[in-house]
Amino acid sequence: MANTQAMCSSFLGELMTATHNFTTSTGNSFKAALYLASATVNASTTAYSSSNEVTGTNYVAGGVTVTNGTSPLSSNTSTTAGVGYWTPSASITYTNVTLTTAFDAVLIYNSSASNKAVSVHTFGSQTVTAGTFTLTMPSNTTSTALLRLATT
Q: Interface with another protein by CB under 8 A: which residues?
A: 5-7, 12, 85, 96, 98, 119-124, 126-138, 143-152
6/26 with CB nearer another protein: 6
Smallest gap from Cβ 96 to another protein, in A, equals 6
Taking the C-alpha atoms of residue 76 and residue 146, their distance in angstroms, rounded to an integer, is: 18
Q: Which is nearer to another protein, 26 or 131 (CB)?
A: 131
Say if CB 20 and CB 117 are below 8 A apart: no
* Cβ distance to another protein smaller for residue 113 or 137: 137
Give the span between the Cα atoms of 106 and 53, in whole angstroms: 9
The count of C-alpha atoms lying within 13 angstroms of the C-alpha of 143, restricted to the half-sphere facing its C-beta, is: 1
* Distance between CA atoms of residues 97 and 129, nearest Å: 7
Least spacing, CB of residue 13 vs another protein, in Å: 11
- Please report how close the Cβ of residue 117 comes to another protein at its closest, in angstroms: 12
